[in-house]
Amino acid sequence: MLVWWIPLQASAGDHAKEATVNSHSPHDDSDYIGSATVIMASTEVEVQVELRGFFQPIDGRFCWYGRVGQSDILDEFLQGRRRSVVVRTSAGEAAGTIGDRDFWGRYRIQGRGRPPYPTPSSLDEVEATPS
């Protein structure tokens, strides 16, 4: 059976609704976007980060990851290698691994356990968080 679909004339309001429905930004899913300090050995580098995380049910741990903004100091220190670092924000700090530079000069960072940004710590806080 062959079925033809013929689009109807759309009004200006229909286009506005479509744009609103499809206007999801990848940044909307981030748990933390802001300033941070990356600590490597005795060097501290102020950077911008975008982080998110999830609970891993297989091992029962929280995994967090994201991108660190471009930094000439990080480029010089890392030189294409992965390193263990500490990430500090105003909410706390956490150990992680940094490496894997992308085309825009940003580095991937990842860690396990409590992240360096605030997360709900009680059921009441989780239920109060808008989804």
User: What's residue 117's pLDDT?
Assistant: 93
Number of domains making up the chain:
1
**Within a domain: residue 16?**
no
Torsion sign, CA atoms 58, 83, 50, 129:
positive
**Within a domain: residue 27?**
no
C-alpha–C-alpha distance, residues 79 and 76, integer Å: 6
C-alpha–C-alpha distance, residues 94 and 87, integer Å: 5
Render pLDDT for 72-122 as a digit per residue (tens, 0 to 9): 999 999 998 999 999 999 999 999 999 999 999 999 999 999 999 988 777
Question: Can you give the residue range of the structural domain that contains 80?
Answer: 32-128
Q: What is the pTM of this model?
A: 0.73
Q: Which stretches of the chain are DSSP H helices?
A: 12-21, 72-78, 123-128
- For residue 129, give the DSSP letter: S
CATH number of the domain where residue 107 is located: 2.40.10
**Within a domain: residue 84?**
yes
Burial call 68-101: b when 16+ CB within 10 Å, e when fewer:
bbebeebeebbeeeebebebbbeeeebebebeeb
**Within a domain: residue 62?**
yes
Render pLDDT for 13-68 as a digit per residue (tens, 0 to 9): 554 444 445 555 666 778 899 999 999 988 999 999 999 999 899 999 999 999 99
User: What's residue 127's pLDDT?
Assistant: 76
Q: Tell me the C-alpha to C-alpha distance, in Å, between residue 62 and each of 49, 58, 59, 107.
A: 18, 10, 9, 21
Q: Which residue has the higher pLDDT, 11 or 73?
A: 73
**Within a domain: residue 8?**
no
**Within a domain: residue 123?**
yes
User: What's residue 32's pLDDT?
Assistant: 92
**Within a domain: residue 20?**
no
**Within a domain: residue 75?**
yes
User: What's residue 119's pLDDT?
Assistant: 84
